């Protein structure tokens, strides 16, 4: 039997029909009307009805950025859409009729990695997603940890620098300010400005002094040493974050996803080295594995669908 996963992004909505083993049998994408909550709701309903097409599905999971209550029914706060304490499940259920759950997008992606990707075979997994920001998901004993208020796993807001850079969350020194894709661009541009004219990384600067993301990606792929030093700095912060997180959660594996993870081993090796330097009880605490996420763009829809199936099984 199928389940449906719908992933609401800032620029597009992706929806897919997912089989029991996590495979995608039909996938649709439409532009995301993020500026209007009413149009967003209409777009989700239309996407769900297209995929349903009179099929019998075990559930519909909807992944969205923001705080979702632990029941998967109310969007408490969404950063990109004007949902505030929005009873989204109730509204959608009235219009679609099927069994619906709402999940945080990073939790959905983490669950997909745990069930079908890099976290397969483990029972305690922590995922960090380094994209525009830094997201997280925590699996303990085979279960997704949503927390008492639905806001667990916000690992980008673990503090790694005392009195550090101001974060969008209102605090200072959060991991997100040092280990996101945006942080990589900032660190690379700072390094580039200190280099002699004509150095490739310096040539990748835009006229306003910011780093051109495509040029940086190309330099990383070419093995440019200055670009890799910037990546290693991001990896250092990620490793430090993982060391603090391990002291609380003790995962068997850290899975690193998001755009920055496309660097693969060039990111993972220095993350592991930094973790080893900074972990508590070094030499006595067994070391977790580190892996790059496998499902990349499809993790949101796959995880949301599987979590909907999981909830319908438990209900
Ligand atoms: Zn923060």
Cα-to-centroid distance, 283 and ligand 1 (Å): 31
- Domain boundaries along the sequence of the chain: 2-111+297-314, 121-293
Determine the distance separating the centroid of ligand 1 and the alpha carbon of 47, expressed in angstroms.
33
CA distance 299 to 113: 7
How is 291-313 classified by DSSP, letter by letter? EE-S-GGGHHHHHHHHHHHHHHH
Q: What angle do CA 172, 173, 176 make, to 5 degrees?
A: 110
Q: How much distance in Å is there from the Cα of 73 to the middle of ligand 1?
A: 25
Supply the pLDDT for residue 315: 66
Residues bordering ligand 1, an ion, CB closer than 5 Å: 157, 167, 169, 171, 174
Q: At CA 298, angle to CA 301 and CA 270, rounded to 5? A: 125
Considering the domain delimited by 2-111+297-314, tell me its CATH architecture. Answer: 2-Layer Sandwich (3.30)
CA distances from 288 to 141, 154, 159 (A): 15, 20, 21
- The Å distance, Cα 267 to ligand 1 centre, comes to 22
For ligand 1, the distance from its centroid to the CA atom of residue 191, given in whole angstroms, is 24
Ligand 1 midpoint to CA 158 (Å): 7
Which pLDDT score is estimated for 170? 92
**pLDDT value at residue 272:** 97
Residue 46 three-state SS: helix
How high is the pLDDT of residue 190?
Answer: 97
**Domains 2-111+297-314 and 121-293 alike in fold:** yes
CA 157 / ligand 1 centre spacing (Å): 4
User: How far is ligand 1, taken at its centre, from the CA of residue 315, in Å?
Assistant: 34
Between the CA of 132 and the centroid of ligand 1 the distance, in Å, is 13
pLDDT at 98 (0 to 100): 82
Taking the centre of ligand 1 as the mean of its atom positions, its distance from the CA of residue 181, in whole angstroms, is 15
Question: Looking at residue 56, what is its pLDDT?
Answer: 87
Contact present, 103 and 62 (Cβ < 8 Å): yes
| pLDDT value for 79 | 81
Pairing of strands 134-140, 143-144: antiparallel
What's the 20 CA to ligand 1 centre distance in angstroms? 36
Q: What is the pLDDT of residue 213?
A: 96
Q: What is the structure's pLDDT at 34? A: 78
Burial of 148 (0-12, 13-18, 19+ CB in 10 A): exposed
- Tell me the CA–centroid distance for residue 105 and ligand 1, in Å: 17
CA of 168 from ligand 1 middle (Å) equals 6
- Going from the Cα of 171 to the center of ligand 1, the distance in angstroms, rounded, reads 5
Distance 161 CA to ligand 1 centre (A): 11
Phi, psi at 174, each rounded to 5°: -70, 150
Phi and psi of 282, rounded to 5°? -55, 135
Q: What is the CATH number of domain 121-293?
A: 3.30.420.40
CA angle 112, 143, 158 (to 5 degrees): 80
Please, what are the averages of pLDDT over each run of 10 residues along the chain (315 residues)? 92 94 94 89 96 92 93 89 92 92 95 98 97 94 93 95 94 97 97 96 96 97 98 98 96 96 96 94 89 94 96 75
Q: How far is the CA of 133 from the centre of ligand 1 (A)?
A: 9
- What 279-284 contacts at long range (C-beta under 8 Å, 24+ apart), as own/partner pairs, is 279/243, 279/246, 279/247, 280/243, 280/246, 280/247
Cα 273 to ligand 1 centroid, rounded to whole Å: 24
pLDDT at 82: 85
* Distances from the Cα of 194 to the Cα of 100, 149, 201, 209, 229, angstroms: 53, 45, 10, 12, 13
């Amino acid at each position: 039997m199928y389940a449906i996963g719908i992933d609401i992004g800032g620029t597009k909505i992706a929806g897919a029909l997912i089989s029991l083993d996590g495979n995608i049998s039909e996938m649709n994408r439409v532009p995301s009307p993020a500026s209007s909550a009413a149009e967003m709701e209409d777009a989700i309903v239309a996407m769900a009805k297209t995929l349903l097409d009179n099929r019998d599905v075990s559930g519909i999971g909807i992944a969205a950025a923001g705080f979702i209550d632990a029941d998967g029914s109310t969007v408490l706060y969404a950063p990109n859409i004007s949902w505030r304490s929005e009873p989204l499940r109730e509204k959608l259920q009235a219009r679609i009729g099927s069994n619906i759950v709402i999940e945080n997008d990073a939790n959905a992606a983490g669950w997909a990695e745990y069930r079908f990707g890099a976290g397969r075979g483990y029972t305690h997994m922590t995922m960090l997603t380094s994209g525009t920001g830094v997201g997280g998901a925590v699996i303990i004993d085979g279960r997704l940890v949503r927390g008492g208020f639905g806001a667990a796993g916000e690992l980008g807001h673990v503090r790694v620098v005392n009195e550090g850079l101001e974060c969008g969350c209102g605090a200072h020194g959060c991991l997100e300010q040092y280990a996101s894709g945006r942080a990589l661009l900032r660190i690379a541009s700072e390094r580039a400005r200190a280099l002699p004219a004509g150095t490739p990384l310096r040539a990748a600067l835009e006229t306003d002094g910011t780093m051109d993301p495509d040029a940086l990606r190309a330099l990383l792929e070419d093995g440019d040493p200055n670009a890799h030093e910037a990546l290693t700095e991001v990896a250092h912060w990620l490793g430090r974050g993982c060391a603090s997180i391990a002291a609380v959660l003790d995962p068997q594996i850290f899975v690193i996803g998001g755009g920055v993870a496309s660097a693969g081993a060039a990111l993972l090796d220095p993350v592991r080295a930094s973790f080893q330097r900074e972990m508590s009880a070094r030499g006595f605490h067994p070391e977790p594995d580190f892996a790059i996420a496998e499902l990349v763009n499809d993790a949101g829809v796959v995880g949301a669908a599987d979590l909907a199936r999981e909830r319908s099984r438990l209900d």
